[in-house]
Amino acid sequence: MSETIFSKIIRREVPAEIVYEDDQCLAFRDIDPQAPTHVLIIPKEPIRSLSELEEEHQALAGHLLLTAAKVAADLGLDSGYRLVTNCGKEGGQAVDHLHFHLLGGRAMQWPPG
């Protein structure tokens, strides 16, 4: 996988407002928030997108989802939140590193776009 802004954030070469970190993933505030709370949750392992997850990533995928729920609780998103991942160019993926958008702090609209 090619170098991305997220791999630089993981290595602390690019600053980010980190809200959670463990040995498998990192969560940090989006620099262009689309809601009052907008956090990105990324694996430290370089996986391009959701479509590239393999059977061997099953535990990591579950960990990312549980981390999203923990971060949402830690940030007080008790009224609800949205968790989104974009996959591929037509899906709106802008960075080729698997990431989940945790959005909250306001009522979400449907359809999303």
Could you report the average pLDDT of every consecutive run of 10 residues in the chain (113 residues)? 90 97 98 97 96 97 98 98 96 96 96 75
Provide the pLDDT for residue 112: 77
CATH number, domain with residue 14: 3.30.428.10
Active site residue 97: no
Domain count, the chain: 1
Residue 112 lies in a domain: no
Provide the pLDDT for residue 113: 61
38, 57, 99, 101: the active-site residue: 99
| Structural domain harbouring 74 | 5-104
Task: Enter the tokens of residue 9.
Answer: 């954030």
C-alpha dist (Å) from residue 12 to 5, 7, 17, 46, 113: 10, 9, 11, 15, 33
Provide the pLDDT for residue 1: 62
